[in-house]
Amino acid sequence: MTVTAVFGVHWGDEGKGKIVDVMAKDYNIVARWNGGDNAGHTVVTDEYGRVALHLVPSGILHKGKVSVIGNGEVVNLQSLLNEIEGLKEKSVEVTPDSLVLSDRAHLILPYYRDIEAKKESTRKIGTTGRGIGVAYTFKPDRVGARVLDLLDSGGSFIEKVKIHAEENRLRLNPEELLESQRELLGRLEHYLNISDTVEFFGRNGGANILLEGAQGVLLDIDAGTYPYVTSSNASPGGAYTGCLGIPRIDRFIGVMKAPYVTRVGAGPFPTELGTEEAIKDARRGQEEITAGDMEKIRRGDPLATAKYLRVRGGEYGTTTERPRRNGWQDLVAAKYAFDVSGNPSHIGGVMLALTKLDVADGLPQINVCTAYRRGDKNLPSFPSDTNLLNEVEPIYEELEGWSENTKGVTRYDKLPRSAQNLARFLENSLHIPVYMISTGPNRKEVLGSSDGF
Ligand code: IMP
């Protein structure tokens, strides 16, 4: 029996969905511990084609596995129903035997988005606008509506909605909301089983469990670049409270893009190429890499390099379609993320999964940030003071790029020498072994195995 936690090392969108999908074959249960439909994973398989997942763990694409939406997720029932109907259209089996919804999970009710929009107008975090923060804020405020509230007489649900209406000056009809949420849950019950996860994990004592986090450590509410973070614990510590009942965590797999890092929304980003403002009009499918761009890249132009990574990496939000901010790989941040989440001294094992290696094919040079400098001094570590991050200068190791095609390569010895060097450089700098390297979106485009290599 093994319990493995897969987490994002930087600001999310590292490709965790793909890694979880590849690993799921060796596990019985795949459970997610945080986030909501702010998250978006795209998984590509020969059987189902391109599938976008938001709330449902990536294990759902494997027959005979059980996927669990943990109590730490916040669930918009309408989004969940849409997602499941989308999966059914692609002939993915979703049944009460294959999908479990925690009865303790908090709901996102339709008006949470309006509350968030009002807050966002003054705070400018650049949220996904899904009402995620509102659901997570109601939780410690003890007025959050939960799945459980739809299963009893409904009194507490109505009471909570009345409080929301009063405190946020909204005109709401609690009875109507209760009815519509119950109607949605009734439809969902054809596809999923509502459970107490403590009882569920207890009953499945000998199972191999793969835990999936949404977003990344630098967006974690406690560890991240506060206040430019999401509202949940994206680092694997969150799995213990977000998937109540898991026995322990044996292994940690941190997922990061090999040659670069992305961030969506506002907040500091030391290795950013260009600025958030400069890319605001970039749209998927409307940009292409020109000979002029390549010339600029050779001269080290940051905007052209960011465009190269954005276009080739498809770096536009799965959930919001916003262009993602791109920057060079940041090992100061990555080291911090592992220190937070699963330090290499952990006995069970901490490993790296590298994604999007192929995106860098054709780049003449790849820069990897190995230190932050402020004034004439190097910082000893990733600073807890978010403001300080805006002032640091990244110090880069310049690695040679490669011109060969790595897309779909499935053997390490078939990678160009410079690509191997990049993987080894990341591994040696972090002192964490590489477990898997992804060379394309398809499930098959991967090197490494259950044992690493
Ligand atoms: P929220 O999670 O919608 O509250 O947004 C808070 C911050 O987290 C914003 O900067 C979002 O862009 C970011 N964020 C939330 N979910 C994701 C994700 O899945 N990938 C990348 N960024 C995310």
* Residue 345 confidence (pLDDT) above 70: no
pTM for this model (two decimals): 0.95
Q: What is the 3-state secondary structure (H, E, C) of 136-157?
A: HHHCCCCCCCEHHHHCCCCHHH
Nearest CA to ligand 1 atom 8: 230
Which of 212, 215, 325 has most ligand 1 atoms within 8 Å of its beta carbon, as the pocket-test mutant? Answer: 215
Which one has a higher pLDDT value, 257 or 320?
257
pLDDT exceeding 90 applies to what percent of the chain? 89
Residue burial 37-58, b: 16+ Cβ < 10 Å; e: rest: bbbbbbbbbeeeeebebbbbbb
- pLDDT tens, position by position, 192-219: 999 999 999 999 999 999 999 999 999 9
Asked if the model's pLDDT at residue 450 lies above 50, the reply is: no
Rounded distance, CA 109 to CA 158, Å? 12
Residue 334 Cβ contacting ligand 1 at under 6 Å: no
Strand-strand pairing, 446-447 and 434-438: antiparallel
Lowest mean pLDDT, pick from 245-254, 276-285, 365-374, 420-429: 276-285
Q: 168-172, 179-183, 247-251, 340-344 — which is least confidently predicted? A: 340-344
Tell me how far the alpha carbon of residue 128 lies from the centroid of ligand 1, in angstroms: 6
Averaged over 309-333, what is the pLDDT?
92
* 416-427 CB burial, b ≥16 within 10 A, e <16: bebbeebbebbb
Asked if 443 and 437 count as a contact pair (C-beta separation under 8 A), the reply is no
Task: Name the pLDDT band for 337 (thresholds 50, 70, 90).
Answer: very high
Cα Rg, the chain, nearest whole Å = 22
pLDDT at 321: 79
Mean pLDDT of the region 106-132: 94
- Read off the DSSP letter of residue 272: B
Give φ, ψ of 11 to 5 degrees: -105, 30
Q: Give the strand pairing for 350-355 and 325-330.
A: unpaired
**In this structure, which amino acid lies at residue 150?**
L
Residue 287: its pLDDT value, please?
93
Q: What is the mean pLDDT of the chain?
A: 94
265 Cβ inside 6 Å of ligand 1? yes
Is the Cα dihedral 391, 235, 78, 58 positive or negative? positive
Q: What is the pLDDT of residue 449?
A: 54
| Bond preceding residue 110 cis, omega within 30 of 0 | no
Rounded CA-CA distance 334/258 in Å is 11
Taking a C-beta distance cutoff of 8 angstroms, is the pair 162, 174 a contact? Answer: yes
pLDDT average, residue stretch 302-330: 92
Mean pLDDT, to the nearest integer, of 25-52? 93
Whole-angstrom Cα distance, residue 7 to residue 152?
A: 35
Say if strands 251-257 and 350-355 run parallel, antiparallel, or are unpaired: parallel
* Nearest ligand 1 atom to alpha carbon 267: 10
Q: Is the dihedral of CA 29, 232, 43, 337 positive or negative?
A: negative
Under the banding of pLDDT at 50, 70 and 90, the label for residue 343 is low
Residue 224 near ligand 1, beta carbon < 6 Å? no
Arithmetic mean of pLDDT, 165-175: 97
Is any ligand 1 atom within 6 A of the Cβ of residue 38? yes
Percentage, residues of the chain above pLDDT 70: 98
Helix axes 174-188, 77-89, angle to 10 degrees: 30
Q: Maximum CA pair distance of the chain?
A: 67
How close is the Cα of 154 to the center of ligand 1, in Å?
A: 32
Ligand 1 center to residue 74 CA distance, Å?
Answer: 13
**pLDDT score of 427:** 94
Check pocket membership of 262 for ligand 1, CB cut-off 6 A: no
Ligand 1, from 33, 73, 132, 264: best to mutate by most atoms within 8 Å of Cβ? 264
Structure tokens, 155: 């009194």
pLDDT of residue 276: 86
3-state helix, strand, coil in the chain (%, to 5): 35, 20, 45
Of 330-344, 352-366, 411-425, least confident by mean pLDDT is 330-344
Nearest-CA residue for ligand 1 atom 10 is 265
CB of 127 shorter than 6 A to ligand 1 = yes
pLDDT value of residue 342: 73
Q: What is the residue whose two structure tokens read 């970039």?
A: 282
How many C-beta neighbours within 10 Å does residue 113 have?
A: 17
Q: Is the CB of 307 under 6 A from ligand 1?
A: no
Instruction: Say how many Å lie between the CA of residue 113 and the centre of ligand 1.
Output: 14
| Residues taking part in catalysis | 13, 41
Cα 305 to Cα 296, 333, 360, 384: the distances in Å are 8, 21, 10, 29
* Helical residues (DSSP H) of 129-269, grouped into ranges: 132-138, 155-168, 174-188, 197-203, 238-242
Output the CA–CA distances (angstroms, integers) from residue 294 to 51, 258, 290, in the order listed: 32, 21, 7
Q: 23-32, 120-129, 424-433: lowest mean pLDDT where?
A: 120-129
Please compute the mean of the pLDDT values over residues 101-114 and round it to a whole number.
98
pLDDT at res. 451: 44
* 190 pLDDT above the threshold of 90: yes
pLDDT, mean of residues 108-119: 96
Q: Is the pLDDT of residue 243 over 70?
A: yes
Q: Is the pLDDT of residue 244 over 50?
A: yes
CA-closest residue to ligand 1 atom 19: 39
* Ligand 1 in reach of 448 Cβ (< 6 A): no
Is any atom of ligand 1 closer than 6 Å to the C-beta of 219?
A: yes
For 333, the token pair is 């941040």
pLDDT value at residue 220 = 98
Residue 253 has pLDDT above 90, yes or no: yes
pLDDT mean over 386-391 = 94
Tell me: pLDDT of 177 over 70: yes
Q: Please tell me the predicted confidence (pLDDT) of residue 453.
A: 45
Rounded distance from Cα 286 to ligand 1 centre (Å) = 24
Q: How far is the CA of 16 from the centre of ligand 1 (A)?
A: 15
Residue 130 Cα to ligand 1 midpoint, Å, equals 10
As a whole number of angstroms, the distance between CA 39 and CA 35 comes to 7
